[in-house]
């Protein structure tokens, strides 16, 4: 039943909003993974980010897609927790360890072992529109523990204007998505983070977007 509700939500609500009301242009869609395990990484400006990334993938993989999200935010009340985990499909992880043995990346590794496709935002929290902040270490740790899993960089543009942080109303603002070549952990933690950052910045430059400042 939950799988049906999730399908209905994305087909009848999310896709029409993104594809019709907002509008979406995708470059290099063919570089998206065709199956799991895999990781999609993107810059993070809006709550729409994960929904757009899920929309990029075929419906046959919908039950496999798990956005990694902050446990303290999305599990703050029962209604939000049910909707976030069952309908959106988030994989909730703690932002910080609460004991010496808790490891936020354990659940991510288990999901990859099941063949899931994770959505991971290297910046952690949402930032200002079209301004990429420093990457945190989580994506490097995840990739290092799962070096065989491809990590696909994706640059999102326009979402910080369509639904900025702190706003609840969607603004009709055209969205752009640029998909890059997947990479795997190979040359060490710092080298991986640097290469991922480099590829994300290259995708942003490929878009040649006009600054909003």
Whole-angstrom CA distances from 57 to 82, 119, 138, 141 are: 23, 11, 23, 25
User: How much is the pLDDT for 69?
Assistant: 86
The highest-confidence range among 24-33, 118-127, 136-145, 199-208, by mean pLDDT, is 24-33
**pLDDT confidence tier of residue 94, bands split at 50, 70 and 90:** confident
Task: Give the model confidence (pLDDT) of 60-70 as tens digits.
Answer: 999 999 999 87
User: How much is the pLDDT for 105?
Assistant: 84
Kindly report the length of the chain. 213
Given a cut of 70, is residue 48 above it in pLDDT? yes
What average pLDDT does range 10-18 have in this prediction? Answer: 93
Whole-angstrom CA distances from 99 to 45, 80, 142 are: 30, 25, 20
Task: Give the model confidence (pLDDT) of 95-122 as tens digits.
Answer: 665 555 467 788 999 999 999 999 999 9
What is the side-by-side order of every strand in the sheet holding 117-120? 24-27, 175-179, 151-157, 38-42, 117-120, 65-70, 91-93
| Tokens 């190979």 found at | 186
Average pLDDT over all residues of the chain: 87
3-state SS, the chain, equals: CHHHHHHHHHHHHHHHHHHHHHCEEEECHHHCCCCCCEEEEECCCCCHHHHHHHHHCCHHHHHHEEEEEEHHHHCCCHHHHHHHHHHHCCEEECCCCCCCCCCCHHHHHHHHHCCCEEEECCCCCCCCCCCCCCCCCHHHHHHHHCCCCCEEEEEEECHHHHCCCCCCCCCCCCEEEEECCCECCCCCHHHHHHHHHHHHHHHHHHHCCCCCC
Superfamily of domain 2-6+20-207: Glycerol-3-phosphate (1)-acyltransferase (3.40.1130.10)
**pLDDT confidence tier of residue 164, bands split at 50, 70 and 90:** low
Domain boundaries, the chain: 2-6+20-207
Q: In percent, how much of the chain has pLDDT > 70?
A: 87
User: How much is the pLDDT for 209?
Assistant: 75
**pLDDT confidence tier of residue 158, bands split at 50, 70 and 90:** confident
CA atoms within 13 A on the CB side of 163: 17
User: How much is the pLDDT for 212?
Assistant: 56
Task: Give the model confidence (pLDDT) of 136-146 as tens digits.
Answer: 888 999 999 99
- 7 with 59: CB under 8 angstroms? yes
User: How much is the pLDDT for 37?
Assistant: 97
């Amino acid at each position: 039943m939950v799988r049906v509700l999730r399908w209905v939500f994305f087909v009848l609500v999310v896709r029409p909003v993104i594809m019709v009301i907002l509008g979406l242009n995708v470059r290099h869609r063919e570089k998206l993974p065709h199956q799991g395990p895999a990781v999609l990484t993107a810059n993070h400006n809006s709550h729409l980010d994960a929904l757009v990334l899920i929309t990029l993938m075929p419906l046959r993989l919908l039950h496999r897609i798990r956005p990694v999200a902050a446990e303290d935010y999305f599990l703050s009340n029962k209604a939000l927790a049910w909707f976030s985990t069952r309908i959106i499909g988030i994989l909730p992880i703690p932002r910080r360890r609460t004991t010496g043995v808790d490891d936020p990346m354990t659940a991510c590794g288990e999901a990859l072992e099941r063949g899931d496709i994770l959505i991971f935002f290297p910046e952690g929290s949402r930032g200002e529109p079209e301004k990429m902040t420093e990457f945190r270490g989580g994506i490097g740790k995840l990739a290092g523990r799962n070096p065989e899993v491809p990590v696909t960089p994706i640059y999102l543009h326009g979402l910080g204007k369509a639904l900025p942080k702190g706003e609840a109303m969607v603004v009709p603002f055209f969205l752009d998505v640029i998909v890059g070549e997947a990479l795997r952990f190979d040359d060490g933690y710092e080298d991986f983070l640097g290469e991922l950052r480099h590829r994300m910045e290259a995708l942003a430059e490929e878009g040649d977007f006009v600054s909003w400042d």
